[in-house]
Chains A and B, each alone.
Chain A
Amino acid sequence: QQQVKQSPQSLIVQKGGISIINCAYENTAFDYFPWYQQFPGKGPALLIAIRPDVSEKKEGRFTISFNKSAKQFSLHIMDSQPGDSATYFCAAIKGGDFGNEKLTFGTGTRLTIIP
């Protein structure tokens, strides 16, 4: 059972454009939503994260938008650059006593920024 659905599977965006990756979840107990960025040949690394008590979080060119009622959240990359080309994973986890072993990952989006 896939608890976090991610789309699209791959995305090509022109340099300077906006990249948008979407995720949807089913479990309303999820209360922490991180995004991981993975460059080719490397392991994933935490990019940005959000809790559902806010609708948006921005860090530089990266923004997470969160829609609690729709159970959806998305990553926006403004002014996309070739260096942003990577695979992006959304994830979700319940709060309380649950640990990282309960972290549920989306299926990933391969983003390619073309000149």
Chain B
Amino acid sequence: NAGVTQTPKFRILKIGQSMTLQCTQDMNHNYMYWYRQDPGMGLKLIYYSVGAGITDKGEVPNGYNVSRSTTEDFPLRLELAAPSQTSVYFCASSYSRSGANVLTFGAGSRLTVL
């Protein structure tokens, strides 16, 4: 049981480049989330999805896009990378939407934009 798998673990981008962070889960969870984690700032929600074909913006969506074509996959697209997008990105999933339901996180993807 792999849980939530994120790739790549590390990536360095040049300003203006684009890339996709991959996230896949094998728990048949309907709900998936993308967070970014910056030092001293905690976790900020970028985008989330309540099921295949449905996505919505979180607290900090600017500069990012997502898609959810299958239950398992929830890729995060960075267009025109900027230094402000240097961060550690976490994908998470949950079985239900309930606030009491446990979030299962991936191991993270560290992105540096130079």
Contact = CB atoms under 8 A, between A and B. Distances in A.
B62 to A, nearest CB: 17
B103 A103 contact: yes
B40 A99 contact: no
Given A32-B100, A108-B42, A101 B58 contact: yes
A42 B97 contact: no
Given A42-B107, A108-B42, A101 B48 contact: yes
A107 B42 contact: yes
A99 B92 contact: no
Contact of B94 (A44, A49, A100, A108): A100
A99 B102 CA distance: 11
Given A43-B107, A43-B108, A44-B90, A89 B43 contact: yes
B57 to A, nearest CB: 10
Interface in A46-74: 46, 49
24 contacts: A6-B42, A32-B100, A41-B108, A43-B107, A43-B108, A44-B43, A44-B90, A44-B103, A45-B104, A49-B100, A98-B99, A99-B31, A99-B50, A100-B48, A100-B94, A100-B99, A101-B33, A101-B45, A102-B99, A103-B103, A105-B44, A106-B42, A107-B42, A108-B40
